């Protein structure tokens, strides 16, 4: 499918790493904050607010900068992929899964694009992966496997497996969005497209919320969480994630995003009191090692 692409050069890696760092810091805290908010809110209405508030926040910011414009035709594939897949489908599945899976574990599986992105990048984009990067993948996946605790699923309740399946589907939607933006890059900077992406995600989530949660909503105690995620974490974190995915190779991006669940588990332990056992420590160490291996190429 087109010409074969090689791994990103080191100059490209240096340009992409700051975006990756912003993405990790913001999205690492999203799921613990959301888990706390869902005590006083329903999942799909919270997801809808997240997308809608981010659409307004990014539109106001771009308007103040004089950069709010209608998208051109070349931008439409990117807007559709991000709005429908990375925002609409991902938000819906990941927020619903929080009803079955702890916040730290949600942060793990919702962000493990490596399960899908690497084989799809090789198959659809023809990317070449070095031996060291494949080793990074193996080490990272071992860390994720340890953190997921498959040996303890029976003790965690009947809903844990559907929750994990929803998170796997969410990470697949995110991976497909990354591939589309790499294969069909937009003409304008992604930041200028975010209001339209979030608006499209909002339009997808609204009928789902009305259908699945007709009596749902967001309580007063959850609004500070909703404001932080909708006005700051969602727009800035999504922009940084997209830019990192475009500037880094598929393998570098996917392995780098594994740092998100490690941070999410740590915050969940410190704030929500979720267990921090040997599996979390070992899994976090393996993920950190995988990022170092990927950076070395």
pLDDT of 148 above 80: no
* Number of domains forming the structure of the chain: 1
Residue 161 lies in a domain: yes
> How many alpha carbons lie under 13 Å from residue 11 in its C-beta half-sphere?
0
Contact (Cβ atoms closer than 8 angstroms) between residue 106 and residue 94: yes
CA distances from 236 to 21, 57, 191, 213, 225 (A): 12, 10, 9, 28, 16
| CA max distance for the chain | 55
Task: For 64-84, write each residue's pLDDT tens digit.
Answer: 989 999 999 999 999 999 999
17-26, 47-56, 256-265 — which is least confidently predicted? 256-265
Among 129, 143, 220, 170, residue whose Cα is nearest residue 27: 170
Complete DSSP assignment for 195-241: HHHHHHHHHHHHHHHHHH-TT--B-GGGHHHHHHIIIIIHHHHHHHH
Name the pTM for this structure. 0.79
pLDDT at 73: 93
Residue 141 lies in a domain: yes
CA distances from 181 to 116, 185, 189, 215, 259 (A): 15, 5, 11, 37, 22
Residue 5 lies in a domain: no
Residue 242 lies in a domain: yes
Residue 6 lies in a domain: no
Q: Which structural domain, as residue segments, surrounds residue 23?
A: 15-296
- Give mean pLDDT, residues 270-294: 76
Residue 194 lies in a domain: yes
pLDDT of 24 above 70: yes
Among 157, 159, 173, 171, residue whose Cα is nearest residue 98: 159
Instruction: Please list the residues that pair with 218 across neighbouring strands.
Output: 41
Instruction: Please list the residues that pair with 41 across neighbouring strands.
Output: 218
How sure is the predictor about 143, in pLDDT bands with cuts at 50, 70 and 90?
confident
Contact (Cβ atoms closer than 8 angstroms) between residue 15 and residue 247: yes
pLDDT of 88 above 80: yes
222 vs 135: which has the higher pLDDT: 222
Among 149, 155, 151, residue whose Cα is nearest residue 277: 149
Contact (Cβ atoms closer than 8 angstroms) between residue 46 and residue 34: yes
pLDDT at 80: 96
Residue 114 lies in a domain: yes
pLDDT at 254: 67
Task: For 105-141, write each residue's pLDDT tens digit.
Answer: 777 777 666 567 767 777 777 777 778 777 877 887 8
Residue 3 lies in a domain: no
How sure is the predictor about 250, in pLDDT bands with cuts at 50, 70 and 90?
low
pLDDT of 58 above 90: yes
């Amino acid at each position: 499918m087109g010409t074969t692409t090689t791994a990103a050069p080191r100059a490209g890696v240096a340009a992409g790493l700051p975006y990756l760092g912003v993405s990790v810091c913001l999205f690492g805290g999203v799921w613990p904050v959301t888990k706390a908010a869902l005590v006083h809110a329903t999942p799909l209405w919270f997801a809808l607010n997240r997308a809608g508030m981010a659409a307004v926040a990014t539109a106001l910011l771009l308007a103040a900068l004089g950069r709010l414009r209608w998208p051109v035709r070349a931008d439409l594939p990117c807007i559709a992929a991000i709005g429908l897949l990375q925002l609409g489908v991902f938000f819906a599945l990941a927020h619903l899964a929080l009803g079955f899976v702890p916040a730290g574990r949600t942060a793990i599986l919702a962000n493990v694009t490596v399960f899908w992105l690497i084989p799809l990048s090789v198959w659809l984009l023809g990317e070449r992966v070095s031996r060291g990067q494949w080793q990074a993948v193996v080490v990272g996946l071992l860390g994720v496997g340890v953190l997921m605790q498959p040996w303890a699923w029976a003790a965690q309740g009947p809903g844990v497996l559907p929750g994990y399946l929803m998170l796997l589907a969410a990470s697949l939607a995110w991976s497909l969005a990354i591939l589309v933006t790499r294969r069909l890059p937009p003409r304008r900077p992604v930041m200028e497209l975010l209001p339209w992406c979030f608006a499209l995600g909002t339009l997808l989530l609204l009928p789902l919320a009305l259908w699945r949660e007709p009596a749902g909503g967001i309580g007063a105690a959850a609004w500070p969480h909703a404001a932080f995620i909708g006005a700051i974490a969602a727009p800035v974190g999504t922009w940084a994630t997209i830019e990192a995915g475009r500037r880094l190779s598929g393998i570098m991006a996917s392995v780098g995003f594994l740092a998100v669940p490690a941070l999410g588990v740590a915050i969940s332990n410190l704030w929500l009191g979720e267990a921090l056992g040997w599996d979390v420590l070992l899994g976090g160490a393996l993920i950190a090692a995988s990022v170092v291996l990927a950076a070395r190429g």
